[in-house]
Amino acid sequence: MERKDFLKKTFAMCGLAMIPAAVLESCSKSNTTAPSNVNFTIDLSVSANAALLNVGGYLVSNSVIVIHVSSGIYNAFSDICTHEGCSVGYNATSAQISCPCHGGQFSPQTGAVISGPPPSALKQYTVTQSGNVLTIKS
């Protein structure tokens, strides 16, 4: 084998060896992992939590979005979009959880993907109410 051919093949093989690393790096995502050990309370009598007093109101606490979806019904989901890890918010007008980064839409009832690029639903947490206190748990 001539030196010229040897160098061409060597450089070609080195280039091919770097492709998997480049592909993996380009596909890496931000943290899209929902909090797994959730256990906190929200006191509805505290003014900072007043948004939850009205249907359509929501707040984010501990990487969890809590939504007052209908009279006496609260749902809680991870606020981390399953697509690229952006924080989601709730749009009461459209009654959907929305990701501002790539337009993903989720159901405020189940966290299921309604539209957009997210590959899976938002993680849902249990919400129980005792008087003015909501308890959110994994």
Q: Compute the average pLDDT of residues 93-111.
A: 95
**More confident of the two residues 4 and 60:** 60
What pLDDT is stored for residue 33 in this prediction? 81
DSSP 69-100: EETTEEEEEESB-TTT-PBPEEETTTTEEE-T
What is the model's pTM? Answer: 0.76
Residue 28 contacts by C-beta under 8 Å, 6 or more apart in sequence?
none
Other Cβ atoms less than 10 A from the Cβ of 42: the count is 22
Asked if the model's pLDDT at residue 110 lies above 80, the reply is yes
22 pLDDT band, cuts 50/70/90, is very low
What pLDDT is stored for residue 35 in this prediction? 79
At 24-64, the pLDDT tens digits run 333 344 567 887 889 999 999 999 999 999 999 999 999 99
Q: Are 126 and 136 in contact (CB under 8 A)?
A: yes
